[in-house]
Chain A
């Protein structure tokens, strides 16, 4: 889609709603205006979603109609619609090249529609950026959102926000797709029939007086974790007005144990903030702090900054990870030990004991070697005040308490550990809270249940029986506010469509308490409401806009005088100044005894199971997000499904192969689920991720995967012991994007230890004489038919810019943020499970995962792989039409509109980073039938049609934008002025892009690093994207790193490898 289309289209949008965009300060520019009268009229007439798709269409604004037309690129449209196809068939039948060349040249007339009144800030063709924040599990990550004439198209991190520092995670990157999700609920529903907001108000009005008179007895509010100061304020107000009302919280992937741990240790709730930027030794007790924890994006950055050696100073922190199922932390760890969850407690006690925590007692974990334990202890002792012991969110309170005790003992507190006021509005045990609610529901105590977001009917443990009691007659009136008409909405009397955070005002706190104002970039596409609005209604302030509620609250905090300035600044910066949570001085009051509640968790013997939030759909809320569903899980590369992960040994014992269906029994509850064998999975424990098996997610997510909540225990949300695993004999197709996990002894990921590096920075040259480190994308001279410059392009002149990239494999944590960022930036389609199984996924950037060494506990290596922009590109040489050629600045240009689709370039690409549109993939996400999805597209990137090749372009649209701006005033492009999407999203700054001709640029500097090498450079492809070898910092007393390929699970491959080994052996 060309920018012209973009402008045209967006202009019409704006034109359609000018008056409102001007007058109404509430909505960021580009908001749309609907004829509500018409909508309501039609609504009451229409029934069932099939009659209409969106309010625009409903209101029949001419703007939107053309908008749809224009938003479709003709190129794609041509063979998307049947007529066009038949036209081509005729041509083929005639098979006249001439006819072909002329058949479809003439363009149809197109309309161009200006504003009626042009807003000042809008320059057609230039995007605007707005600061806002996205929350996950209640905790905010600051973002800057790109708006193309009123359409939010891309989310970036907010550099000023403590939880982001400019980076994001995969969820945040994908959130913009959820905004346009055509399956989002688009109207108020009453008992499965379409209804209106007004009739909902009257229905509620009928209830409220009675409730008031009863002091609110019978009124229950159920929320997820609340950090929003304003919402908290509203709730407080409500509870004051109606003291008998109750507010419950439930977060399926919540932090009950963390809270309880703090309480156990200090007798009160405090939040722990880790300062990885000050820690030299980190010990993780089953904690994956690089992902999924509040603030983990920030933590990842702080942690990695401490182990970057490419930059010269050769210092690294050291990470010990004890984990039950492979996670990101385990992959980057210097020493990793897979242990059962039940062993973490003894381990923690042992550590604490050895470090002098009296209360610890002297427990000894079974599978942990003395040697390792001693190493850990010695390291911790050696780095008092500069170390962190962190317990996993899932681990029971005792482990957290022990961790606190250890950190205290090592006087890390105040240095690497900070205890602060909880960011939550009301810290409490969610499990207990929801339990209480369900009991009252059963007891008929609940008259009016208002569920603000969340999906308890699905994501509470089935054994809790929330759904059962929700539908029983005793709950008189249940109201559910949610973005989808989901499992819970279906069971409630009323469903209110919720606004996406890009559509609504609001506020939220980050992991460190810092508050952010959430501002909308577009008026609600589907008339979504916010929790604030619903609360206002309950508070009897019906039709008070969220904006007012919000301002009212903050006005209270700031005071009248210069509130205006404060507000503008807060909204603009995306952070509210001086809101960081105040530090707390806490006293360790912990006797080391295991609380009663915990005893039963690991009681008894047998197989253990771990429930984890899913790395792609979290607790299930992202189930209908195609980008995330198709995103390969970091370690297993599994897409479109979840599976129960088992260790190779268990597979051997139970005779299980990948994809075998097994029947799991956890406390009498059964679930059939396929197995996936995961090297490095701890023995005696299996793990299953939450968030799948949705029954009402939408067209993308419904029926995908297996519902772990069905067997999730209520008493301990994360672990269970005594699991039975029975082979059913049935099979199930699991699809991964990487079939082969070993490097086959090939020089793909180069690695070593800090020690090697310090002894000889060029140590890698020893193993790889073929490559010169200095300029590794020019490996060596080869004989050539072209005497000049050994086959390089002699006519090339030196240009100002020579684009290049360096990827630091020591810094990459494999979090996938870059993959989604690339997809969002470049209009990359998704293709669905069946196509992925054929090997046709379309992501331009993939993260390869290799194992080295012992299959039971291998070393894991991540390698982001994208088009490396070879200077001697094999793909270019073989393209018969010159659709992929080299630019003067060293870019390997892929020209979609010239491509005829021979796929020869892909065959000849040694990195296999080219992606082909085998079918019209635009149709997969219903782009063809769901116009609003077209608004998501980046107008600066062509939408590819069926039958053309595509690949990473180094985000050339960003390069061009920067070049044009620079050339207008004839200045060079500054280093860092062009950021590729992947680079911008990367939490650990593992990706560096820039101009190689500028010796001072970051990328040029890194290219000089002795760790720099080009993957497969021995093929003389001269990659412009090179990688930095992965360094480890092992404890001197422990084994450095493993060598030797991890054997394949496929007997055939094992035979091949054996033959090869014999061959090599025969020679030496």
Chain B
């Protein structure tokens, strides 16, 4: 008897061919999505910190300027993280008994530094320089998001190469007047595309070098 299969196999076998095709495409799609998902990029992921420091409170609440703590942001590649004594300059007067701040006081007593968990962490082969971005009028907000609205610090952007390139290709999308670099919110951005282009000229932003590999990798 040459009849090996049940009639239903006809539909089934045809289905499998398209099915296989579909599965492959789906897999590729999912993979791409995952690669860009918070699981990998860690966007909006909160991290355990020794002290639950609130940027929201200190920035919008108390109106402290970024540079008060991140002292070297204008001069160095590294923005700088406040030394314990900086915290203590206020917190030796206010909230000086709050249990939340005990780690800070302890660090100050023992001389053992606080150990924060990095939120914005680039791969080791990427050389990012804060000072030049500040100097060219790229606001903190452009990469770090609305820090003034973050009770706990979290990553606002994927920090993936494609994301960096978007801006290095068209800086006008992020550029702002230098006085607004450390401000947040829509009113801190230049109103029109024309303004942005003007600022590009004023700040002397030359785009084609921004796409050179060695601008970020060495």
Direct contact of A and B (CB under 8 A): yes
Give the 7 A-B CB pairs with smallest separation, nearest first.
A15-B113, A125-B78, A115-B83, A114-B81, A125-B76, A2-B124, A968-B135
Cβ of B13 within 8 Å of any chain A Cβ, yes or no, is no
Cβ of B27 within 8 Å of any chain A Cβ, yes or no, is yes
Tell me the count of chain B residues lying within 8 A, CB to CB, of chain A: 57
Cβ of A889 within 8 Å of any chain B Cβ, yes or no, is yes
Cβ of B118 within 8 Å of any chain A Cβ, yes or no, is yes
Cβ of B39 within 8 Å of any chain A Cβ, yes or no, is yes
Cβ of A893 within 8 Å of any chain B Cβ, yes or no, is yes
Cβ of B107 within 8 Å of any chain A Cβ, yes or no, is yes
Known A-B contacts A19-B111, A970-B204; the reply to A5 vs B84 at CB < 8 A is no
Choose one: A3, A98, A893; the contact of B27 (CB below 8 Å).
Answer: A98
Cβ of A73 within 8 Å of any chain B Cβ, yes or no, is yes
Q: What are the interface flags for A93-121 relative to B under an 8 Å C-beta threshold, 1 for contact and 0 otherwise?
A: 00000100110011101111111111000
Contacting B at CB under 8 A, from A869-920, are: 885, 887-889, 891, 893, 895-898
Known A-B contacts A2-B122, A5-B124; the reply to A967 vs B135 at CB < 8 A is yes
23 CB < 8 A contacts A-B: A2-B127, A12-B113, A19-B111, A63-B113, A74-B124, A98-B27, A105-B35, A109-B47, A110-B117, A111-B118, A112-B115, A112-B118, A114-B81, A114-B82, A114-B113, A116-B111, A123-B72, A125-B72, A895-B214, A896-B217, A942-B217, A956-B214, A964-B132
Cβ of B142 within 8 Å of any chain A Cβ, yes or no, is no
Q: What are the interface flags for B128-142 relative to A under an 8 Å C-beta threshold, 1 for contact and 0 otherwise?
A: 110110011000000
Q: Which residues of chain A come closer than 8 Å to B31, judged between CB atoms?
A: 98, 101-102
Cβ of B177 within 8 Å of any chain A Cβ, yes or no, is no
Q: Which residues of chain B come closer than 8 Å to A102, judged between CB atoms?
A: 31, 34-35, 40
Q: What are the interface flags for B23-36 relative to A under an 8 Å C-beta threshold, 1 for contact and 0 otherwise?
A: 00001100100110
Cβ of A714 within 8 Å of any chain B Cβ, yes or no, is no
Q: Which residues of A contact B (CB under 8 A)?
A: 1-5, 7, 11-12, 15, 18-19, 62-63, 73-75, 98, 101-102, 105-107, 109-118, 123-126, 797, 799-800, 885, 887-889, 891, 893, 895-898, 940-942, 953, 956-957, 960, 964, 967-970
Q: Assess whether A118 is in contact with B85, with CB atoms less than 8 Å apart.
A: yes
Among A1, A891, A893, max chain B CB count under 10 A is at A893
Task: List the A residue with the shortest CB-CB distance to B211.
Answer: A888
Known: A2-B122, A113-B114, A940-B127. 16 other contacts (CB 8 A): A2-B125, A5-B124, A7-B78, A63-B113, A102-B34, A109-B47, A109-B117, A111-B117, A112-B118, A113-B113, A117-B83, A117-B85, A799-B209, A957-B127, A960-B215, A970-B204
Q: Assess whether A110 is in contact with B129, with CB atoms less than 8 Å apart.
A: no
Q: Assess whether A1 is in contact with B124, with CB atoms less than 8 Å apart.
A: yes
Cβ of B208 within 8 Å of any chain A Cβ, yes or no, is yes
Cβ of B182 within 8 Å of any chain A Cβ, yes or no, is no
How far, in angstroms, from A952 to B111 measured CA to CA in the complex?
Answer: 43
Cβ of B80 within 8 Å of any chain A Cβ, yes or no, is yes
Known A-B contacts A111-B118, A114-B81; the reply to A896 vs B113 at CB < 8 A is no
How far, in angstroms, from A813 to B134 measured CA to CA in the complex?
Answer: 45
Q: Assess whether B213 is in contact with A893, with CB atoms less than 8 Å apart.
A: yes
Q: Assess whether B124 is in contact with A888, with CB atoms less than 8 Å apart.
A: no
Expressed in whole angstroms, the minimum distance between the Cβ of A532 and any Cβ of chain B is 30
Q: What are the interface flags for B92-117 relative to A under an 8 Å C-beta threshold, 1 for contact and 0 otherwise?
A: 00000000000000011001111111
Q: Assess whether A888 is in contact with B209, with CB atoms less than 8 Å apart.
A: yes
Chain B, interface SS category: loop
Q: Assess whether A799 is in contact with B131, with CB atoms less than 8 Å apart.
A: no
Q: Which residues of chain A come closer than 8 Å to B7, judged between CB atoms?
A: none
Q: Which residues of chain A come closer than 8 Å to B116, judged between CB atoms?
A: 111-114
Expressed in whole angstroms, the minimum distance between the Cβ of A1 and any Cβ of chain B is 6
Cβ of B6 within 8 Å of any chain A Cβ, yes or no, is no
Q: Assess whether A110 is in contact with B111, with CB atoms less than 8 Å apart.
A: no
Q: Which residues of B contact A (CB under 8 A)?
A: 27-28, 31, 34-35, 39-40, 42, 47, 71-72, 75-78, 80-86, 107-108, 111-118, 121-129, 131-132, 135-136, 203-204, 206, 208-209, 211-215, 217-218
Task: List the B residue with the shortest CB-CB distance to A110.
Answer: B118
Q: Assess whether B213 is in contact with A75, with CB atoms less than 8 Å apart.
A: no
Expressed in whole angstroms, the minimum distance between the Cβ of A615 and any Cβ of chain B is 31
Q: Which residues of chain A come closer than 8 Å to B71, judged between CB atoms?
A: 118
Choose one: B77, B83, B209, B213; the contact of A125 (CB below 8 Å).
Answer: B77
Q: Which residues of chain A come closer than 8 Å to B129, judged between CB atoms?
A: 964
Task: List the A residue with the shortest CB-CB distance to B114.
Answer: A114
How far, in angstroms, from A893 to B125 measured CA to CA in the complex?
Answer: 14
How far, in angstroms, from A5 to B112 measured CA to CA in the complex?
Answer: 19
How far, in angstroms, from A564 to B124 measured CA to CA in the complex?
Answer: 44
How far, in angstroms, from A818 to B204 measured CA to CA in the complex?
Answer: 36
Q: Which residues of chain A come closer than 8 Å to B206, judged between CB atoms?
A: 799-800
Q: Assess whether B124 is in contact with A968, with CB atoms less than 8 Å apart.
A: no
Expressed in whole angstroms, the minimum distance between the Cβ of B210 and any Cβ of chain A is 9
Expressed in whole angstroms, the minimum distance between the Cβ of A187 and any Cβ of chain B is 26
Q: Assess whether A106 is in contact with B40, with CB atoms less than 8 Å apart.
A: yes
Expressed in whole angstroms, the minimum distance between the Cβ of B78 and any Cβ of chain A is 4
Q: Assess whether A968 is in contact with B131, with CB atoms less than 8 Å apart.
A: yes
Known A-B contacts A98-B28, A124-B80, A956-B214; the reply to A18 vs B111 at CB < 8 A is yes
How far, in angstroms, from A115 to B112 measured CA to CA in the complex?
Answer: 9
Q: Assess whether B108 is in contact with A885, with CB atoms less than 8 Å apart.
A: no
Q: Which residues of chain B come closer than 8 Å to A893, judged between CB atoms?
A: 212-214
Task: List the B residue with the shortest CB-CB distance to A801.
Answer: B209
Known A-B contacts A102-B35, A117-B84, A956-B214; the reply to A111 vs B115 at CB < 8 A is yes
Q: Which residues of chain B come closer than 8 Å to A107, judged between CB atoms?
A: 42, 121, 123
Q: Which residues of chain A come closer than 8 Å to B204, judged between CB atoms?
A: 967, 970
Q: Assess whether B81 is in contact with A4, with CB atoms less than 8 Å apart.
A: no
Q: Which residues of chain A come closer than 8 Å to B107, judged between CB atoms?
A: 116
Q: Assess whether A967 is in contact with B136, with CB atoms less than 8 Å apart.
A: yes
Q: Assess whether A75 is in contact with B124, with CB atoms less than 8 Å apart.
A: yes
Q: Which residues of chain A come closer than 8 Å to B80, judged between CB atoms?
A: 124
Choose one: B75, B124, B208, B209; the contact of A126 (CB below 8 Å).
Answer: B75
Q: Assess whether A942 is in contact with B40, with CB atoms less than 8 Å apart.
A: no
Q: Which residues of chain B come closer than 8 Å to A62, judged between CB atoms?
A: 112
Task: List the B residue with the shortest CB-CB distance to A73.
Answer: B124
Q: Which residues of chain B come closer than 8 Å to A957, judged between CB atoms?
A: 127, 218
Q: Assess whether A124 is in contact with B72, with CB atoms less than 8 Å apart.
A: yes
How far, in angstroms, from A968 to B132 measured CA to CA in the complex?
Answer: 6
Q: Which residues of chain B come closer than 8 Å to A19, judged between CB atoms?
A: 111
How far, in angstroms, from A75 to B124 measured CA to CA in the complex?
Answer: 7
Task: List the B residue with the shortest CB-CB distance to A795.
Answer: B208
Q: Assess whether B84 is in contact with A126, with CB atoms less than 8 Å apart.
A: no
Choose one: B40, B76, B118, B212; the contact of A123 (CB below 8 Å).
Answer: B76
Q: Assess whether B124 is in contact with A4, with CB atoms less than 8 Å apart.
A: yes
Among B35, B42, B77, B116, max chain A CB count under 10 A is at B77
Q: Assess whether A896 is in contact with B112, with CB atoms less than 8 Å apart.
A: no
Expressed in whole angstroms, the minimum distance between the Cβ of A624 and any Cβ of chain B is 29
Known A-B contacts A125-B77, A893-B212, A897-B125; the reply to A106 vs B39 at CB < 8 A is yes
Q: Assess whether B39 is in contact with A114, with CB atoms less than 8 Å apart.
A: no
How far, in angstroms, from A107 to B42 measured CA to CA in the complex?
Answer: 9
Expressed in whole angstroms, the minimum distance between the Cβ of B65 and any Cβ of chain A is 17
Expressed in whole angstroms, the minimum distance between the Cβ of A365 and any Cβ of chain B is 56
How far, in angstroms, from A957 to B129 measured CA to CA in the complex?
Answer: 12
Q: Which residues of chain B come closer than 8 Å to A73, judged between CB atoms?
A: 124-125
